[in-house]
Amino acid sequence: MLKRIVRFLLALSLLAIVACGGGEDESVIKVGAIHDLTGATSDAGTPYADGIRDYVKFVNENGGIDGRQVELHSQDYAYAVDQAEQLYSQYVNEGVVAFQGWGTGDTEALKGKIAADEIPFMSASYSAPLGNPEEAPYNFLVGTSYSDQFIIALQYLKEQGIDTVAIMHHDSPFGTSPVADGTAWAEANGMSVIALPMPGGATDFTAELTQVQDAGAGAIV
């Protein structure tokens, strides 16, 4: 996560240089961020948010970016898409020049506004469409897309002689993101994929595992 935040703030340094226009500018660099501190992914969202805030504090305590302080505008959005959209619009109106998002559903919902506003946007979502410059020119993936991760796993399993694979995924935009691309790759390469959504809060997956067994899957992703 630290490397991702470093990349984010390096991008901000380029923005700072452009904003300065070659002259002195003592104004702060405003950055927007939304965090999941109380929602469905708060177990991961809380430490992620802590890392962002702590690194901004570290940068500011060590001279800022090109001598300018970073002003973080951030809030809990509880993993709710409508709240993410509201906070994004609020922070853009407050003058942020870059944005750190979080989830797949909200990041995908915002990509049209992001492109129109020309706000560099990174998040913890690695959904493949967010890496397509034609669809999302101002969204930047900071890791391998979910689709590519799934396809890499399928390639390895094919090399091991496995031709039927089950994917048990979170029942959300995050979880479904790689399913279509992975399934298409599998079908094109003589494999089959069984996709089984796992509802949030469920603790008994006996029925799903029985389906996996009955289908003769050689691996579960």
Domain edges within the chain: 2-140, 146-220
What is the model's pLDDT at position 125?
97
Cβ-proximal residues to 107 (8 Å cutoff; 6+ apart), any chain = 101, 121, 123, 125, 127, 130, 139
Is residue 100 within a helix (H) or strand (E), and if so which, with residue range?
strand 98-100
Tell me how crowded residue 166 is: count the other CB atoms within 10 A of its CB. Answer: 22
- The answer on pLDDT for 17 being more than 90 is no
pLDDT at 157 over 80: yes
Question: What is the rounded average pLDDT for all residues in the chain?
Answer: 91
pLDDT in the model for residue 9? 53
Residue 18: the pLDDT is 43
> Tokens representing 132?
């397509």
Q: Which fold has domain 146-220?
A: Rossmann fold (3.40.50)
Confidence of residue 202 (pLDDT cuts 50, 70, 90): confident
What's residue 218's pLDDT?
Answer: 98
Output the pLDDT for position 12: 53
Find the mean pLDDT for residues 169-196.
96
Tokens of 91: 């922070």
Return the higher-pLDDT residue of 114 and 17: 114
Q: What is the pTM of this model?
A: 0.82
Question: Fold for domain 2-140?
Answer: Rossmann fold (3.40.50)
H or E stretch covering 170: strand 164-170
Q: What percent of the chain has pLDDT over 70?
A: 88
> Is the pLDDT assigned to residue 63 strictly greater than 70?
yes
The pLDDT of residue 24 is: 44
Tokens of 17: 């240089």
The mean pLDDT of 49-66, rounded to a whole number, is 97
Task: Read off the DSSP letter of residue 57.
Answer: H
Interatomic CA distance for residues 155 and 160, integer angstroms:
9
The neighbour count for residue 61, using CB atoms within 10 Å, is: 9
d(CA 141, CA 134): 14
Asked if residue 138 has pLDDT above 70, the reply is: yes
Q: What pLDDT, on the 0 to 100 scale, is given for residue 199?
A: 81
% of the chain surpassing 90 pLDDT: 85
The CA distance from 34 to 93, in Å, is 15
Choice between 198 and 145, residue whose per-residue pLDDT is larger = 145
Q: Looking at 36-50, 80-94, 194-208, which range is the least confident one?
A: 194-208
| Contact yes or no for 74/34 (Cβ under 8 A) | yes
